[in-house]
Amino acid sequence: MKKNDIYTVEITDMGTQGEGIGKADGHTLFVKDAVVGDVARVKIVKAKKNYAYARLEKVLKPSPFRIEPRCAFSRQCGGCQLQSLSYEQQLLFKEKKIRNNLIHIGGFSPECVDSAMEPIIGMENPWRYRNKAQYPLGTDKEGRIVTGFYAGRTHTIIPNTDCILGVEENREILERIIKYMEENGASAYDENSGTGLLRHVLIRKGFASGQIMVCLVINGTRLPAERRLADMLWQIPGMTSLSVNENRERTNVILGKKVRVLRGKGWIEDRIGEVSFRISPLSFYQVNPVQTQRLYAQALEYAGLSGSETVWDLYCGIGTISLFLAQRAKRVYGVEVIPDAVKDARKNAEINGIANAEFYVGKAEEVLPDKYEKEGIRAEVIVVDPPRKGCDGKCLETMARMRPERIVYVSCDSATLARDLKYLAGEGYELKRARGCDMFPWGMHVETVCLLSRIK
């Protein structure tokens, strides 16, 4: 098998990145854009000893699960990997991914995983669910300012101001920003040379409050005609906060550390269930509010609180999960590394009249061991919700030493989740329940929540 060879394959499975998997000539083929059930003609892009990557040339016999993507850019765009797969099959794909990871990486038996797993929580209407968008700005070949999405694995911008996963206001906001840039000589950033001013537009909308925040990431400290920009954006209903974020580094990291408010408040407010939240530009906030509420409800149920417990919420962001927990616990301690997020968390406790939640700034793997060793803190329940790389070893080790009765693990990457659960299983915990929650319809990622219980 070599590059440019053509094969006809039947796609029999899906890989973790949403690619189709089939077999040809004793090789396993990974075919981007093919879906399970397709018979397709494919062209080899890169061949290895036992496997190869191939490009989808033509679907010869479409899978019964294949659907017409709603977005014209779905194949090029790096955002959606599964727009050609029916929503039901997508949910199955995600469930299977969690199950496989728990078995193959986590080392749990299929029987254990099957008895723990509950049906994935899907969406009734899986479109326009994102409350946050980050659009890069650039210049096209004709010198026009463009914004849109990066093509898969590249930094080439596909112009598109209306992603159908995002809110309808995004388009109006982006078009006004481009008009402002053209009229006021504000250039778009060029990654290759490191020159130009505007890098990214961050937009967030509170679904419950209707409040909109725009934050422009700039390679500098000031924009030309800042008031003019604010005037243009303030014609859009819901505009609540406009700020600039300074990022002069030659980096892929979108946001810098410094934020300056240009108009309105430095934050927006939103509600999840009964709890209100203040959200600043640098703070993490779940992107899918409908599913977030369901995810938190599940995490809360798994926590099994009666009102007398001390709970630690590690990687707590602006305190979202912590404040849900606090309503049913004696005391909740949150730990979060971003100082602005912790400020938000404290404010959020105050806004909601919650007095039994306390927040610490710092790394979970430093704060928790420190508090445990110096103050001998304890916990009946520990909740963790780390970023994709999962929990730090030191954090896991301390959790195990604290011996809480229950650990609720919320994860956006079931591979690192499974790795961490394997460690905890070795420390005397058993996997009781696990449930997927589809926070990112049409993308390959899936959120998972698990309950571990200490073996008595």
Query: Using CB under 6 A, which residues numbered 335 to 354 contact ligand SAH?
Result: 335-338, 341
316 belongs to the binding site for ligand SAH (CB under 6 A) = yes
* Smallest separation (angstroms) from ligand SAH to the CB of 335: 5
Neighbouring CB atoms inside 10 A of 216's CB total 24
450 is a site residue for ligand SAH (CB under 6 A): no
Q: Does 120 bind ligand SAH (CB under 6 A)?
A: no
Tokens of residue 63, six digits: 């899978």
Which of the ranges 1-9, 105-113, 223-231, 360-368 carries the binding residues for ligand SAH, by CB under 6 A?
Answer: 360-368
Tokens of 390: 């999962």
Exposure of 282 by Cβ count < 10 A (0-12 exposed, 13-18 middle, 19+ buried)? buried
Task: Find the part of the chain contacting ligand SAH (CB under 6 A) among 64-72, 107-115, 220-228, 316-324.
Answer: 316-324
Interface with ligand SAH, residue 451, by CB under 6 A: no
Check binding of 284 to ligand SAH (CB under 6 A): yes
CB of 413 to ligand SAH, least distance (A): 11
Three-class secondary structure of residue 436 per DSSP: strand
| Annotated active-site residue in 316, 412, 437, 450 | 412
Find how far residue 220's CA is from the centre of its chain: 28
* Measured distance CA(15)–CA(31) in Å, rounded: 9
Query: Residue 74 or 286: which CB sits closer to ligand SAH?
Result: 286
| Cα distance between residue 127 and residue 377, in whole Å | 44
CA dist 361 → 148, 155, 255 (Å): 35, 34, 19
3-state DSSP call for residue 148? strand
Q: Are strands 331-336 and 310-314 parallel, antiparallel or unpaired?
A: parallel
Phi, psi of 381 (to 5 degrees): -135, 135
447 binds ligand SAH (CB under 6 A): no
Using rule CB under 6 A, residue 357 touches ligand SAH: no
Among left, alpha and beta (phi > 0; psi -120 to 50; other), residue 2 is: beta
**One character per residue 221-240, x = contact with ligand SAH (rule: CB under 6 A):** --------------------
Closer CB to ligand SAH, residue 286 or residue 448? 286
Helix and strand numbers, DSSP H then E, in the chain: 10, 22
Within 369-428, the residues that bind ligand SAH by CB under 6 A are 385-387, 392
Q: Which residues lie closer than 8 Å to 15 by C-beta, 6 or more apart?
A: 21, 30
Q: Which stretch in 119-127, 133-141, 167-175, 311-319 sits in contact with ligand SAH by CB under 6 A? A: 311-319
Told to check if 315 binds ligand SAH by CB under 6 A, we report: yes
Shortest Cβ distance from residue 248 to ligand SAH (Å)?
22
- Specify which residues 195 forms β-bridges with: 190
Catalytic site residue 412? yes
Nearer to ligand SAH, 145 or 337 (CB): 337
Q: Which amino acid is at 36?
A: V
DSSP calls for 60-129 = EE--TTB---SSTTTTTBSS-S-TTB-HHHHHHHHHHHHHHHHHHTT---HHHHHHHEEEEE--SS-SS-
Q: Which residue has the CB atom at the shortest distance from ligand SAH?
A: 317
Q: Is 317 in the site for ligand SAH (CB under 6 A)?
A: yes
321 lies in the binding site for ligand SAH (CB under 6 A): yes
Order of strands, sheet of 145-150, starting from the edge strand that comes earlier in the sequence: 157-159, 145-150, 132-139, 198-205, 212-218, 239-246, 258-264
**Which residue, 42 or 332, has its beta carbon nearer to ligand SAH?**
332
When the beta carbons of 56 and 364 are compared against ligand SAH, the nearer one is 364
- If binding is defined by CB under 6 A, does position 364 make contact with ligand SAH? yes
> Is 286 among the residues that bind ligand SAH (CB under 6 A)?
yes
Closest distance to ligand SAH from the beta carbon of 414 (Å): 15
Determine if 113 is a binding residue for ligand SAH (CB under 6 A): no
CB of 345 to ligand SAH, least distance (A): 9
Residues that bind ligand SAH (CB under 6 A): 284-286, 315-317, 320-321, 335-338, 341, 363-365, 385-387, 392
**Active site positions, annotated:** 412
